[in-house]
Structure 1
Amino acid sequence: MIEFIETTKEFQVGASTVTALNHINLSIQKGNIFGVIGFSGAGKSTLIRTVNLLEEPTSGRVLVNGKELTTLTKKQLREEKKNIGMIFQHFNLLHSKTVFENVAMPLIISGVKKSNLEGQVKEVLAFVGLTDKADRYIDELSGGQKQRVGIARALVTKPTILLCDEATSALDPQTTKSILALLKKVNIEYGITILMITHEMEVIRDICHRVAVMENGRIIETGNVLEIFSTPREETTKNFVQSVVRDEIPPSVYEQLKSIDTSKKIYNLKFIGVDVGQPIVSQVAKKFAVDVNVLFGNITELQGIPFGHLIVELVGSDKEIQKAFLFIQAKNIQIEEVVARESEHTNYYRSGSRYAVHG
């Protein structure tokens, strides 16, 4: 559906060359909601703008529905762009026009007769829940309603692809949820492939099937949402995941790590799916000569699948603790020992290969 092949984009800034995209290779399958996340300056906006040629790649290729847009004639390109809708962070609406006129604009530009476009506009306004706002002007709408107008405008040409450029970052949390629900509805009912860029990991968690993480113009990690949240590899990915899945040890618990006691060890347990329902704590306490203290835990949901963390302290002999460790591992639960260490100015904890900092 959308394929980036060694895609590179460079900008000239004075005498310097800035590489916004650095040999991107990425495939987005038909019917997916695909998220691209990264910090400001990572290259996200440039990436999405190469799909509809708002930015033309310096080198490499971008294929949309099997076609490389840079090779098309102007007439062919106009036709192909009808298949690509786009919604923006700050709506990009015409304040001098009504809601109806804003939504109709792409059809008017394409030369569709007024008698033909009215039905299409009314259909998408009903779909986004704005039928009663058709004659209102943009300044009379809330932020969420403005973004619904933007979505309706993007849908009116019946595209197969929808590009979302930070579509929810200007909205409050409750409105964000309603817009994400609408985008999910667009994907399911119209079968439209959605490529969305964001710096909000909550958006990725709530709506996306797959995700790519960008840093310094490169794709550093890709996978389905459950994989990325449960086993992030790159440090940047881990930082994003921890903004949603709070699996870091709180400072109050960290104080317990600083005391040296050979009769106890602390572990981080990860539960996915049906494993969340396992009474693992009570089972360990009954089966082995260890005391189990729960220090911290939480559960979130990823695409309808429960995902949880539990930090526990096991107190007992090394032999019994090892037996308990192997028992938990055999239950298909990820388990990592949490080890504390100190530097001169900063306290660290480590859970497997993960680090966090408490200043």
Structure 2
Amino acid sequence: MITFNNVKKAYKSGDKEVHALNGIDLTIEEGEIYGVIGFSGAGKSSLIRCVNLLERPTSGKVFVGGEDLTELSPKNLREAKRKIGMVFQHFNLLNSKTVYENVAMPLLISHVKKDRIKKRVEELLEFVGLVDKKDNYPDQLSGGQKQRVGIARALATKPSVLLCDEATSALDPQTTGAILQLLKKINEEYNITILMITHEMSVIRDICDKVAVIERGEIIEHGSVFDLFSNPKTSTARNFVSSVMNDRIPDSIRKLVSQKDEYQGIYRINFVGASAGQPFLSQVAKKFKVDVNVLFGNITELQGVPFGSLVVKLKGEPSEIKRALFFIQQEKVVIKEVNTHAS
């Protein structure tokens, strides 16, 4: 559905050239919710704005629905853009227009007949839950309601692609959850491909099918959300995962276990799916002469599958710990020794 082919983007800054994108190769399949995450200045917004050519790539090609947008004539590009909706971080609503008029704006620009505009706008306001607000102005709405108006407006022309540029970062956590559920509903009921730009890993966890990590204008890691959470390969990805999994050993715990003990080890255990419900740690304590102390941990859900992480201390004779570790590995969980002095 969306393909970036060696896309580069550079900006002029005085006599210097700033490279925002450095050869992006990425494919988002039809019907996916694809997240792109990165720190400020990584190139996220430049990337998403290249999809609808709000920013034209310095070089490379951008394909949407099989069409190379960079090669289209102005007229054909306008037609192609009608199939690409966009939701902005700060809503971008017209304060002088009512909710109804804001949603209707793309249809008015496209010279759609009034009766069809009325039908489409009412349908969308029903969909986003704002029928009773149609005559209100943006200043009379909450942040979440404003974003619902922005989403309805982005859907007005029946796009096949929806771009979300930090669509939830200006919202509180509860409202963020509601907006994400609405986006999920849009994806499922309208079969719209969604590309989300965010710096919040919780957004990626809660809604996305796949994710790419961008850093200094390059994609440094990409794949399924499940794979990224369970086995991040780069330090940047690990930092983002840690922000929602909270899997770093707290300093207070690190101090407690930092005293050298000849017969103890600290291990991180990652478990997924059915293994999350198995009592393998209690079985270890029963089967082997090993004391098991759970230091801390948590569990979350990724695409409907339980995923968790525990940090445990195993104490006993080296031979018994070795046998216990082998047993745990047979339970199809990932276990690694932790360096308690690492940050």
Which TM bucket (shorter chain)? over 0.9
Deviation at 1:339, TM superposition (A): 2.5
Deviation at 1:30, TM superposition (A): 0.3
Contact 2:61 2:69 in 1 (8 A): no
> Structure 2: how far apart are the matches of 1:207 and 1:107?
29
> Structure 2: how far apart are the matches of 1:251 and 1:156?
51
Structure 1 residue aligned with 2:266: 266
Structure 2 residue aligned with 1:186: 186
For 1:303, give the aligned amino acid: Q
Structure 2 residue aligned with 1:50: 50
Q: Secondary structure at the match of 1:297?
A: strand
Structure 2 residue aligned with 1:237: 237
> Structure 1: how far apart are the matches of 2:6 and 2:292?
52
Structure 2 residue aligned with 1:8: 8
Q: What per-residue deviation string (whole Å, max 9, x for no partner) do you get for residues 300-329 of structure 1? A: 111211111111111111111100011101
Asked if 1:128 is matched to 2:128, the reply is: yes
For 1:22, give the aligned amino acid: N
> Structure 2: how far apart are the matches of 1:297 and 1:196?
29
For 1:215, give the aligned amino acid: E
Structural mapping, 1:147-226, within 5 Å: 147-226=147-226
For 1:7, give the aligned amino acid: V
Q: Secondary structure at the match of 2:325?
A: helix
> Structure 1: how far apart are the matches of 2:339 and 2:200?
30
Structure 2 residue aligned with 1:333: 333
For 2:250, give the aligned amino acid: P
> Structure 2: how far apart are the matches of 1:177 and 1:313?
36
Q: What per-residue deviation string (whole Å, max 9, x for no partner) do you get for residues 208-262 of structure 1? A: 0000001000000001111101100111111111000011111222113321111
Asked if 1:138 is matched to 2:134, the reply is: no
Structural mapping, 1:334-349, within 5 Å: 334-340=334-340, 348-349=341-342
Deviation at 1:116, TM superposition (A): 2.0
> Structure 2: how far apart are the matches of 1:311 and 1:136?
52
Structural mapping, 1:251-262, within 5 Å: 251-262=251-262
Q: What per-residue deviation string (whole Å, max 9, x for no partner) do you get for residues 144-194 of structure 1? A: 000000000000100000000000001111111110000000000000000
Q: 1:286 to 1:73 in 2, by over 3 A?
A: same
Structure 2 residue aligned with 1:114: 114
Using the aligned pairs only, state the percent identity.
62
Q: Secondary structure at the match of 2:9?
A: strand
For 2:242, give the aligned amino acid: Q
Structure 1 residue aligned with 2:28: 28
> Structure 1: how far apart are the matches of 2:161 and 2:295?
46
For 1:295, give the aligned amino acid: L
Structure 2 residue aligned with 1:352: none
Pick which of 298-307 and 214-223 moved more: 298-307
Question: Structure 1: which 4+ aligned runs deviate by more than 2 Å?
Answer: none
> Structure 2: how far apart are the matches of 1:324 and 1:225?
30
Structure 1 residue aligned with 2:76: 76
Asked if 1:93 is matched to 2:80, the reply is: no
Deviation at 1:199, TM superposition (A): 0.5
> Structure 1: how far apart are the matches of 2:36 and 2:283?
41
Deviation at 1:12, TM superposition (A): 0.7
Unpaired runs of at least 5, structure 2: none
Unpaired runs of at least 5, structure 1: 341-347, 350-356
Q: What per-residue deviation string (whole Å, max 9, x for no partner) do you get for residues 5-45 of structure 1? A: 00000111000000000000000000000000000000000
Q: Secondary structure at the match of 1:50?
A: helix
> Structure 2: how far apart are the matches of 1:119 and 1:325?
64
Q: Secondary structure at the match of 1:254?
A: helix
Name the TM-score, length of structure 1 as normaliser. Answer: 0.94
Q: Secondary structure at the match of 2:338?
A: strand
> Structure 1: how far apart are the matches of 2:5 and 2:77?
20
For 1:160, give the aligned amino acid: S
For 1:336, give the aligned amino acid: K
Structure 2 residue aligned with 1:318: 318
Structure 2 residue aligned with 1:344: none
> Structure 2: how far apart are the matches of 1:309 and 1:116?
52
Q: CA RMSD in A?
A: 0.8
Pick which of 253-262 and 199-208 moved more: 253-262
Deviation at 1:263, TM superposition (A): 1.3
